[in-house]
Amino acid sequence: MSVLSKPKPRVRVNQRRKTEQRILIFSLGFLAFLGLFPYLFMLLTSFKNTQQFVDSYWGLPLPLSFENYAAAWGQTKDYFVTTFIVVGATIAATLLLGLLSGFILSRFVFVGRNFLFTCVGLLLMVPWIAALIPLFVLSKDLKMLNTIWVLIVPMIAGNAVLSVILFKNFIDSIPQELFDCSVVFGASGPQIFRYIVVPLSYPIVGTISLLTMINVWNEFFWPLLTVTDDSLRTISVGISFFQGQNETDYGALMAGYTLASIPLLFLFTFLSKHFLAGIQGGLSVSDK
C-alpha cells in the first residue's frame, strides 16, 4: 500500500516565489495606479462638458466632448510657441556649454583647473530661491525684463551647472588610450572633440536634454515675475491665467493641462533609453 509523500522542498520554494512575485506585481501595479490616477482623471475630465462634470464627477465622459481641446488650443497655442523657443535655445546652449566645459576640464591641464571645477560643483548647493532677487536686479539693469532673453539666459545659467559636472565626469571615464591613439594618428583637439567625445556622449546628451526640458517647461515663478507681455508667457504661466478665465469650464481647463503634458511624454518616450543609460553611468546604448 503506497504512502503519500510530502511535497518536496523545491516545490514549496517555487510556490513561495510565485506568491511573492504576485504580491510584488500587485503592489507595484497599485503604486503605478496611484501615481497615474491624477493624470487619468485629468484626461477623462478633459472630454467632459460643464454639465457632464457637474452631474457625473467620477463618471465616464459619454459622449466625448472634443470641443474642449479646440478651445484650449485656441488660447494656449501662442504660449506653446514661446515655450518651445525657450526650451530649444536653452537645451542647445546648455549642451554646448556642458560639452565644451566638460571636455576642457577633463582633458586639458591648466592652473586652477580643480579649483574651477570645485566652484562649479559648489553652485549646486546654492538654492534657486536664494539667487532670485540678485538675478532679478541684474536682469533689470541689463534691460532684459519683459523680453525673450530674460526667459532664456537665466535658464541656461541654471541648467549649465549640472551639465558641466555630468559631462566632465563622463569624459573622465573614457579610456585615456583612446585619446592617445587619436593623437598618434594626428588628430587635433577639435577633431577629438567632434569625432570621439561627442558621439560617445549621446547618453549624457539625452539625460541633459530631458532634465533641461523638464526644468524649463515646468518653471512657473520666474516667467511670472519677469514677463508681463501676454505673447511672451510660457505654457505654465499661460495655463494659470487660462484657469482664472475659465473657473467653471473644467473640461477646457483639463484639456489645456493635457496638451501641456504631451511634449514631455513625447520627449521622454524617445529619450528614455539614453536617459536611463546616462543615469546608470553613461554607458553606450546600442541602436538595437
Residues 164 and 120: beta-carbon distance below 8 Å = yes
Q: What is the pLDDT of residue 13?
A: 67
User: Taking the C-alpha atoms of 13, 17, 19 and 24 in order, what is their torsion angle to the nearest 10 degrees?
Assistant: 160
Whole-angstrom distance, CA of residue 238 vs CA of residue 72: 11
Torsion-angle region of 5 (φ positive above 0: left; ψ -120 to 50: alpha; else: beta):
beta
DSSP letter, residue 123: G
Give the span between the Cα atoms of 83 and 281, in whole angstroms: 30
pLDDT above 90: percentage of residues in the chain: 16
pLDDT, tens digit (0-9, with 9 covering 90-100), for 7-62: 556 667 677 787 888 888 888 888 988 888 888 888 888 888 777 777 777 777 77
Residue 91 has pLDDT above 80, yes or no: yes
Alpha-carbon gap, residue 173 to 34, rounded angstroms: 39
Q: Where exactly are the structural domains of the chain? A: 76-279
251-280 burial, b at 16+ Cβ within 10 Å, e below that, comes to: bbbbbbbbbbeebeeebeeebeebbebbee
Distance CA(28)–CA(109), nearest Å, equals 49
Mean pLDDT of the chain: 82
End-to-end CA gap in the chain: 60
> Residue 7's pLDDT is what?
52
Distance from C-alpha of 68 to C-alpha of 166, rounded to nearest angstrom: 42
Mean pLDDT on 116-141? 87
Chosen CATH of 76-279 out of 1.10.3720.10, 1.10.10.10, 3.40.50.720, 3.30.70.370: 1.10.3720.10
Query: pLDDT, tens digit, for every residue of 206-229?
Result: 888 888 988 999 888 899 889 988
Q: Which residue has the cell 566638460?
A: 102
Q: What is the reported pTM?
A: 0.80
